[in-house]
Chain A
Amino acid sequence: QQPVQSPQAVILREGEDAVINCSSSKALYSVHWYRQKHGEAPVFLMILLKGGEQKGHDKISASFNEKKQQSSLYLTASQLSYSGTYFCGTESSASNTGKLIFGQGTTLQVKP
């Protein structure tokens, strides 16, 4: 079952904040966040594990609510370089197959 991301698209001005959500109907073991720029490959941002803590680097952080099977990606004081499509990939099994089911993506556009 594909996770559902919201919103589908968001437009920001530089310096504004954004939150992208990823919800699953299945119990999750881990959530992986990627960013893809136009014409390029998805690039790994961070992974959140069941029972783990909120993660972050620079001004991008994420949380994982195990009870709700939901993860949120927080982009603070957005920069032009944050523009792209953000995907969450979910893993339902603790057997560590590495198999991820990706959401449909959230397109973020940061304007000057």
Chain B
Amino acid sequence: DARVTQTPRDKVTEMGQEVTMRCQPILGHNTVFWYRQTMMQGLELLAYFRNRAPLDDSGMPKDRFSAEMPDATLATLKIQPSEPRDSAVYFCASGLFGQGPSTDTQYFGPGTRLTVL
């Protein structure tokens, strides 16, 4: 049963600290998405990658957030420095897209719950 995995599941940190979240997409998927979910804003798309190349990161605060895919099995989302307003659940999702009309969809990981004090 292939699944997206994320680590850590929970992270509590203090304002100003660096936070790194990791995601392992489903093997064979070529597209990885990062979302942030809060009660107020709902599910917001931060960035996404196709074949490890960034396609769109317009939803991400550029001054403190960065996203990378060092290899096909790992995507990272980094916040430096973190602020209390970054507290949220961060989801990674993956899917197989861009190969013609598709009925595929995004499959979500369990999320990282981030609390910045």
Residues of A near any B CB (own CB < 8 A): 32, 34, 40-44, 47, 49, 87, 89, 94-105
Contact = CB atoms under 8 A, between A and B. Distances in A.
B94 to A, nearest CB: 9
B45 interface: yes
Contacts, number: 57
A32 B106 contact: yes
Contacts of B91: 41-42
Decide if the interface of chain A is mainly helix, strand, loop or mixed. loop
B97 A44 contact: no
Interface residues of B, number: 26
B43 to A, nearest CB: 4
A42 B101 contact: no
B97 A96 contact: yes
A87 B44 CA distance: 12
A104 B37 CA distance: 11
Interface string B28-67: 0001010000000011010010100001100000000000
Nearest to A103: B42
B98 A97 contact: yes
B99 A44 contact: no
B101 A87 contact: no
Contacts of A102: 42-43
Contact of B106 (A40, A98, A103, A105): A98
Given A47-B105, A96-B102, A101 B45 contact: yes
Contacts of A98: 31, 33, 48, 95, 97-98, 104, 106
